[in-house]
Amino acid sequence: MSEKLKIKISIADRVYPLTVEPSQEEGLRSASKKIDTMIKQFEQNYAVRDKQDVLAMCALQFASQVEQKQIDKTTIEETTLLKLEKLNELLGEYLLK
């Protein structure tokens, strides 16, 4: 079993101490950087006064990206399933000849 790491992640000028698995560290640091980049973009593009509003907008942005990927994945899976069913049907017809 691997030792857990104690790291500090900074988001919106606040530091959050975390204890994580070594395999999680890179993802958390990358996510922290993406959040800070998004915060800066929202602050530059919109008249946002409160960090909580900016963080809520970031959360909505990330959540909508996750949801859209899930919708896209489901659509691709359904399309693939239909194609496989059609291919199976064609193969069945060919083998019966």
CA-nearest of 28, 30, 11, 55 to 19 is 28
- Which band of pLDDT confidence, cut at 50, 70 and 90, is reported for residue 1? low
Query: Rounded distance, CA 38 to CA 82, Å?
Result: 39
- Which band of pLDDT confidence, cut at 50, 70 and 90, is reported for residue 96? confident
Q: What is the pTM of this model?
A: 0.71
19-56 tens-digit pLDDT:
999 999 999 999 999 999 999 999 999 888 888 999 99
Mean of the per-residue pLDDT values for the chain? 93
